[in-house]
Structure formats: C-alpha cells, structure tokens
Amino acid sequence: MKKQKIINTLPEGGGARRRNLIHWIFSSLNIYRPQKDGSIIAHKQITILGLKFKIKKKPQARKLPTQFGLTKKQLFLRLCDYQKLYLNRDYSFFEKLLIKFQIKFATKVIIPNLDVHLTTRCTLRCRDCSHKIPYYQKQHQHVMNFDEFRDELNIILKNCSRLYNLLLLGGEPLLNPDLAKMVQYAITKRKIERICIITNGTMVPDENLISTLKTSKKNVVFISDYSLNKDLKNYQPQKILDICKSNNVACSIHKGGYWAKQPDLCLDAKKDIELSKCNFKRCYFKQITLWSNGKIYPCAYSKFINDQTNNKFDSQFILLNNKNLGIKEFKKFFASKYFDVCACCDMTHYGEKIIPAIQLEDNKS
C-alpha cells in the first residue's frame, strides 16, 4: 500500500512515528480523509471490522492556522514577550497553559496584536512617528465612529479564534469622542483578551472613560515614554498614572527611552520578491497588523504607502465590507510570509537610536 503524505494535519510534537501511527489508525477506520491543502474532512460514517456506524454530528475540518509564518511556539513566545515589554508584567503559569491550549486547538486565525486607527488627529507632530500620522494628507484623514467600530469588529471576530491585544490608538485615541463606547462594547467580546489604550500622555482621560475602564480587568492604559525629550510640552504621564491608580485601572509607561528609527520609504519601488521577504523577516511590525478605515493592513507603514500610491497594493489587504469575506481570506492573509509593499521600505538605518517625539515645525509636512 502506498504511504500517504501528511501535511500539517496533526498537531506538532511526539515524533513523526507517533503521528504517522495515529494518522494510519484514523485512515483505517475511515474517519478522516486528508486534503491537499493540509486540512482533514470527516466522513459521515465509519467502518470497523466491516460494520458501518453513522456519525450523528459531522466533526469540523481542522487546519491549524499560522500568523505571518509563525509556528505555534513562536506565536506563544511573541505573546509572552509583548506582555513583558509593553505591559510590564508576565503571564502566570495557568495563563500560559491556557494560551498554549488555545493556540494548539485553534480552528481559526489567532491575531496576537491588532492596532486600531481611531483617528488620524493628534496633539503632537512627531517627526519619526511610526504610523506617519503627521504626514497624512487631508483626503486620507479619518475618524472612526462607533457604528464603524462595532460593525467591523464583529466581522473580525467572526473570522478569528482569538484576539489577544486590541490596541486602540491614533493619532491620539483620546481625541475620539466615541472612545468610551468603543471600549465598553469591546469588553463584552469574549474573544478579546486585552484592550489597551495607547496615549501620548498629553491628554487626561475624562470621567466617562475612567468609569468605563474600571469595569473590567481587560482594560489597560499604556503611556508612551517621551521622558528623554526635554523640549516636549504638555507631557503629563504622572498625572494620568495617578488618576488610573486611584480608580484601580491598570496603567503603565513603556520605559523604552530612545526610539528606534523606522524605515525610509521608496514609494516608486518596483516589485521585488526577494527584497520583500528580506525586509519582512527583519521588520518588527510584522507581528502588529493595522485595522484602519475599513481595512486590515500588514502594518501602519503599508497603510500610509497604499494611500500615497493611490491604492497600488490594495489587493493584498483585507477589505472588511467585502460580502465574500470569510475565514479563507483571513488565513491566507495571516499565513503570508511577505507582502509586495515591503519592498518600499529602505532598512538601511532601521533600528538606530533616536530621541523620541522630536516635533516638526509648522511649515513642514
């Protein structure tokens, strides 16, 4: 009998011999049929010793998803690293067990981090903004309202198994008048593990937002650290920390000190698969997708590039109002190991240390 080749039909671990044995048993019982794409489909009946037994409920086909080429182990480590680096805490032993369980038995895509552009307005004009907010042209400015947030979030959650970190930012998220309503709605979604508001520390949360934040332990306020920039005005992180602490709202400052220089952009770059793969592999932001203006982008830079090039790379992103959108499109997007837009990034000085939040002059753009 010719051996069947197994492609990602079973969880990793335990050795190839054991996996092949399990696969042979299932195949012999005529329960599962492996497909070319790596998924497995269950028969409506099984045959044991010539006797046929009907299955009342057909088991779901399962193909363990990946996120931008990450293995399950890499995904777990990225989640733990994010927790330590940005939220100044570590997962407990039982939290780690739960996360491993969720990753192992996921039937849909797991999204580790999702940035949300609630607004492109900001109280600062940072020259080295990682989201290029000061450089947005008027026709690309956008403020998300509550109805957009609710409808598009429902579509995202319908097509994913878990969303670990929903990162609400801008621009400055506190400038969005519907922020409290958005947080309140996101709290009710069980698939969302954590809701993080990322503020630049120049605005104090109002009472309505604070009262909403303290209703759930899911919520975290994250303040960007601009302490090395002595010229910055209206920066009041301690005041925000005190308000959050007095209301039992989790709040932290990322003590990063220096910023890392982001890639320079080459908007007229031609398609180069090898360069795209190289840049994608090196880039930190490949693990943080962006939800903005009705679409999901690989990162904030890809959104800016797409706007500046008149949607030159639009076909590679997820359009949330697409009626034919489904799990298949999400899996294809998150399993990608590179994007053509990555060739537009010049990584020559990427990662160099720079002073944070250097402000642009009014006559510069």
Query: pLDDT of 124-158, one tens digit each?
Result: 999 999 999 999 999 999 999 999 999 999 999 99
Name the pairing type of β-strands 318-319 and 295-297: antiparallel
Domains, the chain, ordered by start = 1-62 (no CATH), 72-354 (3.20.20)
Q: What amino acid is encoded at 135 in this protein?
A: Y
Asked if 250 contacts 221 with a C-beta cutoff of 8 angstroms, the reply is yes
Query: Residues 188-239: pLDDT tens digits?
Result: 999 999 999 999 999 999 999 999 999 999 999 999 999 899 888 889 999 9
Name the pairing type of β-strands 219-223 and 250-253: parallel
Q: Show the DSSP H helices in the chain as ranges.
A: 16-28, 72-87, 93-104, 146-158, 179-187, 207-213, 237-246, 273-282, 300-308, 327-334
Q: Is 309 helix (H, G, I), strand (E, B) or coil?
A: coil
Distance CA 54, CA 339 (A): 45
DSSP 180: H
- In the block, tokens 């499109």 appear at 329
Query: Number of C-alpha atoms within 13 angstroms, CB side, residue 251?
Result: 24
pTM of the model as a whole = 0.79
Query: Residues 89-138: pLDDT tens digits?
Result: 788 888 888 888 888 878 888 898 999 999 999 999 999 999 999 999 99
Distance CA 220, CA 210 (A): 11
**145 Cβ contact list (under 8 Å, min separation 6):** 178
Query: Residues 16-65: pLDDT tens digits?
Result: 455 455 444 544 444 444 444 444 444 555 566 666 655 544 444 445 56
